[in-house]
Structure 1
């Protein structure tokens, strides 16, 4: 194939990928693939909630309307589709669909100009990104089980920081506060006084309990306290952030830039939007500008180990004041079969890919074989 001269969209595909036999829908990955008339292929990923099928349904609805458009008009395409589907939310399914599309169009843009995405964003302040191990499902573990899960990641990954998450039943508040406090203290003892730690309450506390737990986290030297109360209770989140000295973070369930500003105005000073849930690369760049203007830390949430992860690394490399490591939530290698050059965790860091676009070598034949 010669040098591409056109970025006209030829096709948009939306599909789930199953990585293991009989994998339930919720464990599958939601990908989209955009191909131009000159054969440039861009890949994107949607939010993994329910396997992303709700977002893929939105993509399938608008896919045909994108044929013939210029992939370089990604911001215009994004806003037109956002307002076309505005009555569906726009949170959740719609923003996940548009995030996947935006990442794929940035991938095409980078390949067309033969530049990595971070270069098109204005350049990389850093080419290596420290990461933190994000250890989940601890609400359902005993203290000893929690310590074993944290210790395994601590020793095997040598991260720059560890965050352990509750991931409990969000319809129940303040279920086992003494047990939570015991885990907080035990994890601190496990890793030592000087090692950076964070705690994600997963929205499971009332305001009073969040204050109580937050004081313990302060005493134990934790770096941040993530989403202590329900994410939609923005005023309460801000109240806790202003009353505690530990940094309180929120925003992984924030889907628009306007909602992000509301969280900041409430008093939250570290925000964590997720690029495959809201806005993709274009949206996170808007978040970056908002945070810079407000003097707020931008620490994106990101739990997917392939396309979403790499897109996030490009974003992080372009943040001038990057104050916290990147999130690394899934150490499983089951998805590696379709990716030849995924960044691997080494010495507590990831190297940002330098190839065109996302910089990923993706085996489309393997993805097609595993399509659900």
Structure 2
């Protein structure tokens, strides 16, 4: 089956405001009209990755056989390797890869998880990922977490800081006070993660990490700058709490570097590094190294469903699936946004990813990136 058209769209989501107002989608179509949908990282609207898709990847895909998927992906990676490979190019490739998997599932009449080898479960618990806490008071953090737990009924909670990355160790005492208040709210034994969003020096991370250990937190995410792999590894090796990293890691080799540095929970994102193919390779790497794979995932539909298909195939799934802020923004454009039911995500059984589109609304909100 030959590829005849590739389109790249930037789409306004929700009300077009907030921390992530636009998303980046790719549509790959074959000669008989079948199509697959993919998603790229939405950082800065995802526009740069969409340009790479439209200008560099799409021409190389026209006329190619969909079932030559692995060859196509590797050729495209090396075609654009001098653009990174970390960042824009691999996010573009992730969108293409996800679209190809969606398309193959439709062509074979099977959900993607079947093509990946089958699902251990099609019902996965979620964790509420609560952002923006650097700017909140202790009481405001507690109210926000309390509201999300009541609405989403998660199996765990992660509190995120989302602070100014040009400043370190801004309010360590205040951060610890917020962590204590959330523990008091949720009670002993409730699983909680703490995402520093790269906010500390090594010394600051050690101080906060020790406090989190005393409070019984389950993981400490990206305590130092993500690009300082040595520092991340030092913190991971010196603390007892699980230190996680990898949401800003774009290649399998970079994930390996984190593991070799001492990180024991890796969190690559399916719309940033290699799509479904890349995430399955990460799963094999994590399994071989004996570390946890807990992907970062903030997108409300296409990336979310792709992530669920991969996670359903993992034998030792150690943590719930991330449910970030503003997941409701997918509902005007898609029939099935990332809405949990009784604290769980339920994987579609339809062919491909199971994405359902409100086509008129999609067309109204979409801007086509020209080749």
TM-score, normalised relative to structure 1 = 0.96
Residue 52 of structure 2 corresponds to residue 58 of structure 1 = yes
1:19 pairs with one of 7, 13, 16:
13
Q: Does 1:28 align with 2:22?
A: yes
Shift of 1:21: 6.1
Distance 2:114 2:96 in 1: 20
Secondary structure, in 3 states, of the residue corresponding to 2:89?
helix
Q: State how far apart, in whole Å, the 2-side matches of 1:238 and 1:22 are.
A: 38
Residue 337 in structure 1 maps to residue 337 in structure 2: no
Q: Is the 8 A contact 2:335 2:356 kept in 1?
A: yes
Two-structure CA RMSD over aligned residues (Å): 1.4
Measure how far apart 1:232 and its partner are: 0.9
Query: Contact 2:327 / 2:339 at 8 angstroms: preserved in 1?
Result: no
* Aligned with 2:141 (options 141, 146, 149): 146
Q: What is the CA-CA distance between 1:24 and the residue it aligns to?
A: 8.9
1:302–1:107 Cα change, 3 Å = same
CA contact (8 A) 2:127 2:323 kept: yes
Deviations 1:296-354 (A, max 9, x none): 10000000011000110001101111000000003442321222234531121101111
1:21-52 deviation line (CA, Å, top 9, x unaligned): 66599621111111100111100111010010
Query: Which residue in 1 is equivalent to 2:39?
Result: 45
Length, aligned pairs only:
366
User: Residue 179 in 1 paired to residue 174 in 2?
Assistant: yes
CA contact (8 A) 1:304 1:330 kept: no
Pairing 1:228-247 to 2, within 5 Å after superposition: 228-247=223-242
For structure 2, the 5+ residue unaligned runs are none
Contact 1:343 1:353 in 2 (8 A): no
Which residue is 2:116 aligned to? 121
Task: Measure the CA separation in 2 of the matches of 1:83 and 1:251.
Answer: 22
Q: Match of 1:250?
A: 245
Does the C-alpha gap of structure 1 residues 112 and 22 become closer, same or farther in structure 2, counting only changes over 3 Å? closer
Please give the residue correspondences for 1:1-372 in structure 2 after superposition, counting only pairs within 5 Å.
Answer: 7-19=1-13, 27-61=21-55, 62-342=57-337, 344-372=339-367
Residue 129 of structure 1 and its aligned partner are, at CA, apart by: 0.5
Note the alpha carbon deviations across 1:112-144, whole angstroms, 9 max, x for none. 111100011000011111110000011111111
Q: Secondary structure at the match of 2:162?
A: coil
- Measure, in 2, the Cα distance between the counterparts of 1:253 and 1:20: 25
Report runs of 4+ in structure 1 exceeding 6 Å deviation: none
- In structure 2, the CA distance between the partners of 1:100 and 1:146, relative to structure 1 (3 Å rule), is same
Instruction: Compare 348-357 and 73-82 and name the one that shifted more.
Output: 73-82
**Secondary structure of the equivalent of 1:357?**
coil
Partners in 2 of 1:356 and 1:312 — Cα distance? Answer: 16
Q: Which has the higher contact order (CA 8 A, sep 6+)?
A: 2
Residue 352 of structure 2 aligns to a residue whose secondary structure is coil
* Shift in alpha-carbon separation, 1:259–1:127, aligned structure 2, 3 A: same
Partners of 1:141 and 1:72 lie apart in 2 by 50
Quote how far apart the aligned CAs of 1:264 are.
0.3
Deviates more, 1:138-147 or 1:114-123: 138-147
